[in-house]
Structures are given as structure tokens and as C-alpha cells.
Amino acid sequence: MFEVLLSSVLVFEVLSSAVLMLEVLLSVVLVLGVLSFAVLVLEVMMSVVLLLEVLLSVVLVLEVMMSVVLMLEVLLSVVLVFVVLSSAVLMLEVLLSVVLVLGVLSFAVLVLEVMMSVVLLSAVLSSAVLMSEVLLSVVLVFLVLSSAVLMLEVLLSVVQLLEVLSSMVLMSKVPL
């Protein structure tokens, strides 16, 4: 009778330790889930920061365009004053051709700057997508490994329970 009580106490201790191990593993899984969510939030914040940087570069390009427009307006007013004061039609044509060349060159430079900003934006977005895919694959591998470890621990607890049950069976077969 005492041996049966002792074996039942052992079985209860094994089961309580298995429950405790499962609770610990569940808390670890919850912590890992919270950490992965934090990583995802950080990635979203980094993409927002990159988008804000791109928007700032666009604003800077627009400011440069406004300064170029203001300079062109000043140049045009100077040219108009010179045309009013001068009587040489040839000088007026020369100045207008210079202004047109400057406008074409500034437009070409502006187009090149816009194309460079678009290329930089596409490179940044592609690198962000690649990094997010790599991080997701790492998280998936970690989840698979943690589930495998959990299954091994469950199998070990089952083996220990079977050992306890077999010892109980052997003890029940021994005559008193």
C-alpha cells in the first residue's frame, strides 16, 4: 500500500513538473511573439522614416525649383528693362537666346535630379522589402525550431511517464 502511494506521488510529481515545463514554454513563446511584434513595429517605423526622408528630398527639389523660377523671373525683368532702354534689336535677340538656353539647361538638370531621386527611392524600397523577407524567414525558422524542441520535451516527458508506469507494473508483480 505504501509503495502504491509512493508511486502515485511520483506520478503526480512528474505530471506537475510537465505542467510547469509547459507553462514555462508557453511564456517563452509569448515573449517571442511580443518581440517579433516589436521588430515588426520597428520595421514599419523605419519605412516611415525612409518615406519622410524621400518626402524631404522632394521638398528640397521643389525649393530649388522655386529659387530657379525666382532667378529666372529676375533675369526676365532685367532683360525687359534692358529691352525698353536699349534700341538694338540684335542685343535683345542675343539676350533672349541666352535666357532660353539657361531655361533648357535648368530644366534638363531638374529632370536629372528627379530621375536620381526616383532611382534612390526604388533602391531603398527594394532593400526594405528584402530585409523584411529575410527577417520573416528567420522568424519562421526560429518558430519551427522552437516547436521541434517543444515536441522533444513532450516526448521525453512521455518516456519518463512510461518508465514510471513500467516500474509501477514491475513493483505490482513483485510478491510482498
Which pLDDT tens digit goes with each residue over 111-148?
999 999 999 999 999 999 999 999 999 999 999 999 99
Query: Per-residue confidence at 159, pLDDT binned at 50, 70, 90?
Result: very high
For the segment 47-70, the average pLDDT, to the nearest whole number, is 95
Question: Who contacts 160 (Cβ-Cβ below 8 Å, separation ≥6)?
Answer: 14
pLDDT, mean over the chain: 90
Which pLDDT tens digit goes with each residue over 87-102?
766 866 887 999 999 9
Question: Who contacts 134 (Cβ-Cβ below 8 Å, separation ≥6)?
Answer: none
For the segment 45-61, the average pLDDT, to the nearest whole number, is 95
Residue with cell 525612409: 50
